[in-house]
């Protein structure tokens, strides 16, 4: 029986406990999850792609079924090249759904071999986003309950603390 592989794409700038919640839960469903960092030159990222890959690799060191990669171009092309059949998308609130639904429909129109699975974020993380983490951290606010310790250290370094 072939392995069921899913791709969890995002900017992960930085990775949060909300992202990790989705990854942990996806690993209970799939044989493997590829956490795919999108190269998006239009986004003003705090961390470089290389830094995000390194942080993800360190945070996921105890998750052997999870791997880390990066992509640019069409997500569905990346998914198929990696032998995956499912895209995982996390939803925090109804406000996320419309945009994610449009993306899923576009991906489905490109290829019917790739499905999109929406996973609701667990309640403690329903408000959490990388943007909020960066904003709170930039103002020297507490982010200990939002990100792993090594991510907090990386944020502190970025903000010269």
For 65-99, how does the pLDDT look when each residue is reduced to its tens digit (9 = 90+)? 999 999 999 999 999 999 999 999 999 877 788 88
Structural domain of 58 = 5-158
Any catalytic annotation for residue 39? no
Domain count, the chain: 1
Alpha-carbon gap, residue 119 to 123, rounded angstroms:
12
82 labelled catalytic: no
User: Which of 63, 92, 108, 158 is the catalytic position?
Assistant: 92
Q: What pLDDT is attached to residue 44?
A: 84
Active-site annotation holder among 11, 45, 52, 130: 130
Q: Are 37 and 7 in contact (CB under 8 A)?
A: no
The pTM (predicted TM-score) of the whole model is 0.94
Rounded to an integer, the average pLDDT of 42-70 is 94
The domain that holds 90 is classified in CATH as 3.40.50.620
């Amino acid at each position: 029986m072939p392995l069921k592989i899913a791709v969890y794409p995002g900017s992960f700038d930085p990775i949060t406990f909300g992202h990790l919640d989705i990854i942990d839960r996806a690993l209970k469903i799939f044989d493997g999850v590829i956490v795919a960092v999108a190269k998006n030159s239009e986004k003003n990222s705090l961390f470089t792609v290389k830094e995000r890959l390194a942080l993800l690799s360190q945070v996921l060191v105890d998750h052997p079924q999870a791997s880390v990669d990066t992509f640019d171009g069409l997500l569905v092309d990346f998914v198929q090249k990696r032998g995956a059949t499912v895209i995982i998308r996390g939803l925090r609130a109804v406000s996320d759904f419309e945009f994610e639904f449009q993306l899923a429909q576009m991906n489905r129109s490109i290829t019917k071999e790739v499905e999109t699975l929406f996973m609701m974020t667990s309640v403690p993380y329903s408000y959490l986003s990388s943007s909020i983490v960066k904003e709170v951290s930039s103002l020297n606010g507490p982010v200990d309950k939002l990100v792993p310790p090594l991510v907090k250290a990386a944020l502190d370094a970025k903000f010269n603390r």
